[in-house]
Amino acid sequence: MLKKILPILLALTILLAACAPQGTPTMAPADVQGTAVSSAWTMVAMTQAANPTNTPLPPTEVPSPTSLPTFTPAPLLIPTLAPLILPTATRAASDPKDCNKPLSVGEAGPTNPMRIENESGGVIYVISFYLNPNAFGQCGYVAYNNIRIGATQIINLPKGNWWATAMINYKNGQASNSQGGFIIRPGDWDLLRIIVKKDTIGVIP
């Protein structure tokens, strides 16, 4: 910038010197040149002073990274489960309602004499009598086997409601099942006949 200003100042100085009145004493060329140079330096100094100084900008404060809030998961509330206890479905052997068992004849109350008469035409391989729960709270079964054709057998049964089933074998290799129900009443004391036929079982006095 100084190189551009100096030629302009020298031209203005020469122009002013030429236009000055002739009657006035003039300065020596060396003095004029020194004055012009001095003025030029003064203007350069003022120009430099007028220019804004390159003041370094204060450092911009960079915001420090803000730590994100930490996420703490809430604890899972899992209920404590008590151990599952399944009820047992087994029935005690002494359960009086379990009738699939041999009958305790001595605990079932008074008995009545009965006579099995085989009129089936075959051999009674087995005959079973099932007592429903009676007045003494007893139930169960009793069984007899190998009663020949036309044979009889005396037994004693407690009073109550009975169901009889007989398996009969015949000489020709055939077999049959004979069934029937009867009741021995509390007032019965005389001998009762159990008639076993090929398909039915009945009781008569």
Per the structure block, which two tokens stand in for 13? 């100085």
pLDDT tens digits, residue range 115-145? Answer: 999 999 999 999 999 999 999 999 999 999 9
For the whole model, what pTM was predicted? Answer: 0.54
Query: Which has more pLDDT, 140 or 15?
Result: 140
Question: Judging by beta carbons within 10 Å of its beta carbon (0-12, 13-18, 19+), is residue 131 exposed, middle or buried?
Answer: buried
Beta strand extents in the chain (DSSP E only): 111-118, 123-131, 140-147, 152-158, 160-169, 175-184, 192-196, 201-204
Q: Is the pLDDT of residue 48 over 60?
A: no
pLDDT given for residue 90 in this prediction: 42
pLDDT given for residue 89 in this prediction: 38
* Contact in structure between 35 and 27 (CB atoms under 8 Å): yes
Give the mean model confidence (pLDDT) for residues 15-31. Answer: 54
pLDDT given for residue 29 in this prediction: 53
pLDDT tens digits, residue range 135-185? Answer: 999 999 999 999 999 999 999 999 999 999 999 999 999 999 999 999 999
- Rounded Cα distance between 106 and 100, Å, is 17
pLDDT tens digits, residue range 63-114? Answer: 555 555 555 655 555 455 444 444 443 444 445 568 999 999 999 999 999 9
- Rounded Cα distance between 160 and 139, Å, is 9
- Rounded Cα distance between 3 and 167, Å, is 145
* Contact in structure between 194 and 164 (CB atoms under 8 Å): yes
Query: Which has more pLDDT, 57 or 186?
Result: 186
